[in-house]
């Protein structure tokens, strides 16, 4: 698949490496922007406050299947939208999915060490299903559908719970009974 990834950081760069290893053709786009008209899938992996600027700087994204991996860390939702993902769809008017926002990029290189395939949530449009599920599997995850794009707001909000879990409480419980080298 021809994939354009916007954002070359932990998430964008890391996922691009995984997909390249799986045989996909990657175009990596940074702040300078670029043309994504040849892409069959576009993945957005920029800071939550940079989405509008990042979209302004790409050409050919209208109607494309987009996977939004962004989070709302330290920034408000785009005015008038309940999620980043719905804002993205309003800009592209194509099939849109939210996925990869709830996996720690620092663990990408350890996906293969898991005793069973890790699950990964996605919400979004049916027309994005084939692309988002294939790209989940080709990154090493088992995709789990969590409802239509209206549910992307809940998926974005879940990040706070994930941090809560990983910083204490259940995180310590899990660590004691299932240390990372056994997960």
Q: Which residues bind ligand NAP (CB under 6 A)?
A: 6-12, 30-31, 45-48, 50, 53-54, 57, 69-71, 73, 101, 103-105
The CA distances from residue 36 to 29, 89, 106, 162, in Å, are 9, 16, 27, 32
The minimum distance between CB 33 and ligand NAP, in angstroms, equals: 7
DSSP 98-161: EESSSS-GGGGGGGGGSSSPPEEEEEE-GGGHHHHHHHHHHHT-EEEE--SGGGHHHHHHHHHH
Give me the least distance between CB of 60 and ligand NAP, in Å please.
Answer: 15
Q: How far is the CB of 55 from ligand NAP (least distance, A)?
A: 8
First to last CA, the chain: 31
Q: For residues 57 and 157, which CB has a smaller minimum distance to ligand NAP in the complex?
A: 57
Residue nearest to ligand NAP (CB): 9
Among residues 6 and 176, whose Cβ is nearest to ligand NAP?
6
């Amino acid at each position: 698949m021809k994939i354009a990834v916007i954002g070359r950081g932990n998430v964008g760069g890391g996922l691009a490496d995984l997909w390249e290893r799986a045989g996909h053709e990657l175009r990596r786009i940074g702040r300078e922007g670029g043309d994504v008209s040849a892409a069959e899938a576009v993945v957005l992996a920029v800071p939550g406050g940079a989405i509008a600027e990042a979209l302004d700087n790409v050409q050919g994204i209208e109607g494309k299947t987009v996977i939004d991996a962004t989070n709302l860390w330290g920034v408000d939702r785009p005015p008038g939208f309940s999620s980043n993902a719905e804002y993205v769809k309003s800009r592209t008017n194509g099939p849109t999915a939210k996925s990869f926002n709830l996996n720690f990029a620092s663990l990408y290189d350890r996906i293969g060490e898991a005793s069973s395939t890790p699950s990964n949530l996605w919400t979004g449009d049916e027309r994005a299903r084939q692309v988002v599920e294939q790209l989940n599997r080709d990154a090493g995850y088992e995709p789990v559908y969590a409802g239509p794009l209206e549910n992307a707001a809940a998926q974005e909000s879940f990040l706070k719970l994930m941090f809560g879990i990983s910083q204490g409480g259940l995180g310590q419980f899990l660590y004691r009974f299932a240390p990372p080298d056994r997960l």
